[in-house]
């Protein structure tokens, strides 16, 4: 599919964390279409496994929805920052957990109809607890739950945050595949 050509761009708003741009582009049929696009530097999200069967969620007050949500720890990338370095920094700041072994799980676009934000998802295991270094005004509490309870929270609709659903469900798929093993995955004769 031919995406057309961007012809004009105009900044409508610039804040410390994001900007809004009006983009007018010509479609393949010659028509012009104008859209407002939120430009975001990207973010990281972390699946912190406290041990093999416990995950650290956070309960985080979100002004946009006017209440606290259960989420995986996450944060915005600084300009030019490596996603893994940002993930390590954000986990320590929000939860106090440090160290461990880190592995990338996935990256995804948050809401590409209006926003160019890409999130980088990491799994962290073998973590050591410590004091968090939360930013002033952050209303965050650690909530360590058994893995099965986290999955039950998803099923009951208690976890509504998309990045958290993606992280937990991808990890659950991986856990299921690991538990299947070569013998269990074969059909009985």
Q: What is the DSSP string of 18-48?
A: -EEEEEEEE-TTS-EEEEEEEE---EEEEEE
**107 pLDDT higher than 80:** yes
134 phi/psi in degrees, rounded to 5: -65, 150
Pick the range with the lowest mean pLDDT from 18-32, 112-126, 170-184. Answer: 170-184
170 phi/psi in degrees, rounded to 5: -65, -45
| 160 among known catalytic residues | no
HSE-up (13 A, CA, CB side) for residue 46: 33
Q: Which of 59, 78, 85, 138 is catalytic?
A: 138
Separation of alpha carbons 54 and 51, rounded Å: 5
What domains are defined for the chain? 5-39 (no CATH), 43-179 (3.90.79.10)
**58 pLDDT higher than 70:** yes
pLDDT the model gives residue 8: 77
**2 pLDDT higher than 70:** no
Q: What is the pLDDT of residues 148-164, one digit of tens each?
A: 999 999 999 999 999 99
pLDDT the model gives residue 104: 98
Write the CB contacts of 159 (distance below 8 Å, at least 6 apart in sequence): 57, 69, 70, 71, 150, 153, 165, 168
SS (H, E, C) 99-158: CCEEEEEEEEECCCCCECCEEEEEEEECCECCCCCCCCCCCEEEEEEEHHHHHHHHHCCC
pLDDT the model gives residue 6: 52
Pick the range with the lowest mean pLDDT from 8-12, 60-64, 109-113, 177-181. Answer: 177-181
* CB-based contact 146:70 (threshold 8 Å): no
């Amino acid at each position: 599919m031919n995406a057309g050509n961007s012809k004009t761009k105009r900044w409508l708003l610039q804040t410390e964390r994001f900007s809004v741009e009006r983009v007018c582009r010509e479609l393949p049929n010659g028509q012009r279409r104008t859209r407002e696009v939120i430009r975001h530097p990207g973010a990281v999200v972390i699946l912190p496994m406290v041990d093999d069967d416990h995950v650290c969620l956070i309960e985080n007050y979100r002004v946009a929805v006017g209440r606290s949500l259960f989420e995986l720890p996450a944060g915005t990338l600084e300009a030019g920052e490596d996603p893994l370095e940002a993930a390590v920094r954000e986990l320590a700041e929000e939860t106090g957990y440090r160290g461990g072994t880190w592995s990338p799980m996935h990256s995804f676009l948050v809401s590409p109809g209006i926003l160019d934000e890409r999130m980088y998802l990491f799994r962290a295991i073998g973590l050591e607890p410590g004091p968090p270094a939360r930013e002033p005004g952050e209303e965050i509490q650690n909530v360590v739950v058994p893995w099965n309870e986290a999955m039950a929270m998803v099923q009951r609709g208690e976890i509504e945050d998309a990045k958290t659903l993606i992280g937990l469900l991808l990890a659950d798929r991986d856990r299921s595949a690991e538990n299947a093993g070569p013998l269990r995955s074969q059909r009985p004769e």
